[in-house]
Chain A
Amino acid sequence: MTLLAILAMAALVFFSRYVFLEPKLPLRLAPQLQSMLGYSGPAVLTAILAPIVFAPEDELWVAADNPYLLCAILASVIIYKTGNVLLTTVLSMVIFLILNNLVF
C-alpha cells in the first residue's frame, strides 16, 4: 500500500517535470509569456537562496554576525570579480564553515 502511494506520487512528480518537454503537446507560448520565462532562472534561484541567507533560523537576521549574510556578500563580490562559479562556491563555503562553526 505504501509502495503504491509512493508510485502514485512519483507519477505525479514526473508528470510535472515532463509534461511541457513533450513536443506533441500543442503549446505555443505567447511572446509576453516567453519573455516572462526569460526571468525564471534568476527569479527561482533567488527565491530559493534568499531565505537561507536572510532568515537561516526562520527569523529575519540582518546583522553583522550573521555568517550566512556575510558570506553571501563575499560570494557576490568573488563571482563579480572572477566570474568563476566553482571558485566562488568553494571559497565562500570554506570561510562560511569557519565562521559558522568556529568563530560565531
Chain B
Amino acid sequence: MNTEVQIMPNRHSLFMQGTIAMIPLSVAVIPWGLLAGSYAIESGLSPLESQALSAILFAGSAQLVATGMIKAGVGLTTMLLTTLFITSRHFLYSVSMRDKIGKLPLRWRLALGYLLTDELFAICGNQSEQRFEPWYALGAGLSFYLCWNLATLIGIVAGSYIPALNELGLEFAVAATFIALVIPNIKNSPTLVAVLVALVLSVSLNLIQFEGALMIASIGGMLAGYLAETITRRA
C-alpha cells in the first residue's frame, strides 16, 4: 500500500515526461492525420471505417496506401503484400527494442508493441536498457495515438473545409526533432559513418522514387556503421 502511494507520482511524472517529449512529433503529424481522415471519406469509406483505419491499423503511411487500394478495389492478397512491404521497417524496431520491452509483462509488451511507430522508436530507440522507462514510453506512445486519432476524426468531419495545412511545412518538426535526437548520439566515427551513409542513400533513393528507400537506407547506414566499427577496432 505504502509503496504504491510512493510509486504513483513517479509513474505519473514519467508518463507526462513521455507525453511532453512527443509533443513536437504529435504536432507534426496533425496535417497527415487530417489528410488520412479526409482522404478516406473522399475515397468512399464510411466514417466508421475511416476512423477504424487510424484507431485499429494505426500506421500513417500504410493507412494512406491502404485507403488508395480500397478505393481502387484491389484484392486482399495485394493489399496484404503491399502492407507487409511498407510495414517491414517495424521488424527492425521490434528487434532493436527486444532487450528493453521483451522482459516486461505481457500487457506491457502488447501495449508498447501496438504503439511502436516511427515516432515512438525515435523517442525510445536510443535509450539504454537502464534508462528505458515503460511509463515514459507509454506516455509518448499513447499521447501520439490520441493525437493521430483526433486529427483523423477532424479530417473525417471537416474534410473539405480544412485549408491546406500541409503547405505550412509542419513536417519540418519531424526533421528538427530527429536532428535533435541524432546529433548527440554521434560520439564516434562509426556512428558518423552510419548517419552519413543513411543520409546519402535515403536522399538518392527518394529522388529516384525507389519504393523501399527508407528500409534500404536504414540497413545501409547500419551496415556501414558496423563495418567502420570493425575497421577502427582493428586499426
Binding site for B on A (CB under 8 A): 2-3, 5-10, 12-14, 16-23, 27, 29, 32, 35-56, 58-60, 67-68, 71-72, 75-76, 78-80, 83, 85-86, 88-90, 92-93, 96-97, 100-101
Contacts and interface: CB of A to CB of B under 8 A. Distances in A.
Given A50-B198, A53-B175, A23 B102 contact: yes
A40 B62 contact: no
A13 B59 CA distance: 8
Q: Would you call the interface of chain A mostly helix, strand, loop, or mixed?
A: helix
B95 A37 contact: yes
A85 B177 contact: yes
Contact of A43 (B56, B79, B95, B222): B222
Contact of A72 (B169, B179, B186): B179
Nearest to B95: A20
Interface string B187-209: 00011001101110111001100
Contacts of B84: 12, 16
Contact of A79 (B92, B168, B184, B221): B184
A80 B24 CA distance: 19
Contact of A32 (B24, B180, B226): B226
14 contacts: A10-B57, A12-B84, A17-B87, A27-B98, A36-B225, A42-B182, A43-B197, A44-B198, A46-B194, A47-B221, A51-B206, A52-B171, A85-B177, A85-B180
Interface of B is mostly: helix
Given A42-B186, A43-B221, A47-B201, 12 more contacts: A9-B83, A10-B58, A14-B114, A16-B87, A40-B222, A44-B198, A46-B221, A47-B218, A52-B171, A97-B168, A97-B172, A100-B168
B90 interface: yes
B125 A47 contact: no
Contacts, number: 267
Nearest to A40: B96
Contacts of B198: 42-44, 46-47, 50
Nearest to A14: B114
Interface in B202-233: 202-203, 206-207, 213-214, 217-223, 225-226, 229
B172 A42 contact: no
A17 B183 contact: no
Contact of B222 (A7, A39, A80): A39
B168 A44 contact: no
Interface in B62-102: 62, 66, 70, 76, 79-80, 83-84, 87-98, 101-102
Contacts of B101: 21
Contacts of B154: none
A6 B36 CA distance: 14
